[in-house]
Amino acid sequence: MRSDNAKSGMQQAPARSLYRALGLTEEELARPLVGIVSSYNEIVPGHMNLDKIVDAVKQGVAMAGGTPIVFPAIAVCDGIAMGHEGMKYSLVTRDLIADSTECMAIAHQFDALVMVPNCDKNVPGLLMAAARLNIPTVFVSGGPMLAGHVKGEKRSLSSMFEAVGSYAAGTMTEEEVREFECKVCPTCGSCSGMYTANSMNCLTEVLGMGLKGNGTIPAVYSERITLAKHAGMAVMEMLKNNICPRDIMTEAAFRNALTMDMALGCSTNSMLHLPAIAHEAGVEINVDIANEISARTPNLCHLAPAGPTYMEDLNEAGGIYAVMNEIAKLGLLDLDCMTVTGKTVGENIKGCVNRNPAVIRTVENPYSHTGGIAVLRGNLAPDSCVVKRSAVVPEMLEHEGPARVFDCEEDAIAAIKGGKIVAGDVVVIRYEGPKGGPGMREMLNPTSAIAGMGLGSSVALITDGRFSGASRGASIGHVSPEAAAGGPIGLVEEGDIISININANTINMKVSDEELARRRANWTPKTKEVSGYLKRYRRLVTSADKGAILED
């Protein structure tokens, strides 16, 4: 066992004395040591129940003959961090989580790991760590929140942000906003739509790193506790059979994940996280293959914010395996990929039926014949940008309008809520990328303000920052190169005509090459004064099209 390096032989007697200080018995030390990476905290609603999940995992590991030992991972609540400087510290935690988990796992020579994450950067950060460490590892998340109910309709966090925009537009009263505030987030769990947290938990199932139901069983269901016990048992089987993350997270598995990303209509943040996870697994993903995969993958799900269904509905309809079985009818998945169950994808999804074609559309009746995400290129984004096509209304798939240019999120929000943005405009928010932010803030506040003020079908937003999975509309992010790195988005001037064609995967400003060259000759990218971790992060981080990974 790997842990013998830390606990066996006369040389390790001092270490054993410290294990005894922990209260471990001879019997426990004779067994494999399994690290349980707990993301529990009391500030993130998706993590407040993880102590119960961790306890269940420990029982599963112990029942299967292992010794479970818990250590922590941090997590930021994007909703609470949204709209102020705290959001600069969200994406950056992904690498802190991966690095700290690597440190703990190697320093203490664990034989296997069970990752217990739930929210946005926490899931990909631990997937990165799993790929890097390559010891038997299984994932079990805390599960999604149930949808809220306001005036007889299901609602979620995106409804809350849009309610604030409606209040600014004078179409909603303070009392009505208060009702949303008290009802849209009714339970613990990751927010109830197909936002980033749930996107990544669902894709963890697709990658083969989580058991069936990991992405969709609601946080408050007892079935989630059962799942956690089975996860603890599963990692012991993986250890016995020496099944490791890089046996599972292969190039074919990542292509499966991108395919299901398109079918499910996941958050655009998946286009940051999948390349970063793949990089740690020794697999390189070029974002351009997203369009290749999208061209042949139908979009079968419209969960909030794209539509009126929620994670609990997807779970009742058969969950991720049912969607995979539907997509497999078209021969679009590699069914031979290994998973944490010790079985292949094909063996896992066999017999998993679609129980509600209104929630999971059939391949014969998709929302669209192309996938939920599109990658665009043009003179505004030579290295690419990303949009959640499935959340864009048809009339905005092609749009031209004058640029309204802002060098930070706050200025854009003030203009939107101040009524200075009108139908047809293209809001451009720059210097919010990985280096420029730094930290690549999510733009849920401005996108929600646009939707709440009734401009969602007539105004586009373009940024070198990123979006929450709760954003909807013609919200185009990850513009690369970013302004701070000398990207053309930094050359856009007020009133320039921006042409967006999502169907053709293009984005351009109607400015001549000669004029752009003139502007560039007289332009120096802006920089912001930062200190501490953000200063280090800005120096090391790469562009969004590379997954915003840190340079080696």
**Burial grade of 408 (CB within 10 A; 0-12, 13-18, 19 or more):** middle
Spans of the chain, pLDDT less than 70: none
Q: Is the peptide bond before 305 cis (omega within 30 degrees of 0)?
A: yes
Q: Is 38 a catalytic residue?
A: no
The widest CA-to-CA distance across the chain, in whole angstroms, is 76
- pLDDT recorded at residue 393: 93
Q: How far apart are CA 17 and CA 170, in angstroms?
A: 67
Q: Is 108 helix (H, G, I), strand (E, B) or coil?
A: coil
Q: Which of 468, 471, 475, 480 is catalytic?
A: 468
- pLDDT recorded at residue 452: 87
**Torsion angles phi and psi, residue 137, rounded to 5:** -145, 140
Q: How far apart are CA 302 and CA 308, in angstroms?
A: 7
- pLDDT recorded at residue 310: 97
Structure tokens at 148: 């809220």
Do 47 and 25 contact (CB within 8 A), yes or no?
no
Q: How far apart are CA 20 and CA 26, in angstroms?
A: 9
DSSP string, 146-202: PPEEETTEEE-HHHHHHHHHHHHTTSS-HHHHHHHHHHS--SSSB-SSS-HHHHHHH
- pLDDT recorded at residue 83: 84
Q: How far apart are CA 344 and CA 297, in angstroms?
A: 21
DSSP string, 59-99: HHHHHTT-EEEEEE-----HHHHTTSGGGGGTTTHHHHHHH
Do 381 and 479 contact (CB within 8 A), yes or no?
yes
Structure tokens at 124: 């990909």
Q: What is the DSSP letter of 392?
A: S
Q: How far apart are CA 440 and CA 438, in angstroms?
A: 6
Q: How far apart are CA 427 and CA 406, in angstroms?
A: 8
